Amino acid sequence: MSLPIWTPAALSSELRAVSGRFWRLVEAQHQISTLKLVDTLEEQALLENLLEESKPALPPECAGLDYLLATPFRYGAVYPHGSRFRRAGRTLGVFYASEKVETALSEMAFYRLLFYADSPATPLPANAAEYTAFAAPVATSAALDLTLPPLDRDRAIWTDPLNYEACQALAEAARAADTEAILYESVRDPRHGRNLALLTAKAFSVREPAERQTWRIRLSASGVQALCEFPKQRIGFARSDFGADPRIGN
């Protein structure tokens, strides 16, 4: 299948406004991982500051952002593996999130299963792991929506489960057209919810997450179970939900 050719000029005419809250998940231990190394909260704050100073620099548009929003945009670090809209190497950061928390959970469930599929000798964890889901408010007038005409005519390429080359090339052309965000169909969500790839932190409408939820995610031989106490929610994924990707066995 030949790759679509979208020039910056063509993409600039397709830019549209997008706003709303978009969800992302991170491991909850990020909040307490340094606390076990110190005796007081003051020592923890000092350690956190030292760690922050040792990390690659943030771009100017991240000034004042909560670290949950800013971290994907750090300069200097080598991106070890390419993702859908970012090539491997010293490339510009992308903040990935989902329109619904259920879609964000499906993305996390898939990648947790993929980790163990790539390491079949590693046993599944016995206990559930805790994750923080947070909503990032976004507002931009410079977004592309791959789920709408005319960009949706290349849906089969945008949703390839393994080959990201077309999406990465699109992101490069989108940056040249001053695009700030890309809306696209989740390849991992059985309900085909929408994801968002922020190409710049300028698209955040506030400086910190607007809402947070705590989820416990358990992996089993049959799939993934996710539970949230408040608001009370329960979501399950079978391995067959991700059967479109040959790396995940049914």
Model confidence over 33-73: pLDDT tens digits?
Answer: 555 566 666 655 665 655 555 566 788 999 999 989 999 99
DSSP state of 83: B
Model confidence over 159-174: pLDDT tens digits?
Answer: 999 999 999 999 999 9
Provide Rg for the chain, Cα atoms: 19
pLDDT at 76 over 60: yes
Model confidence over 186-224: pLDDT tens digits?
Answer: 999 999 999 999 999 999 999 999 999 999 999 998 899
Distance between CA atoms of 190 and 192, rounded to whole angstroms? 6
Model confidence over 99-127: pLDDT tens digits?
Answer: 999 999 999 999 999 999 988 889 999 99
Residues 84/197, Cβ–Cβ less than 8 Å: yes
For residue 23, the model assigns a pLDDT of 98
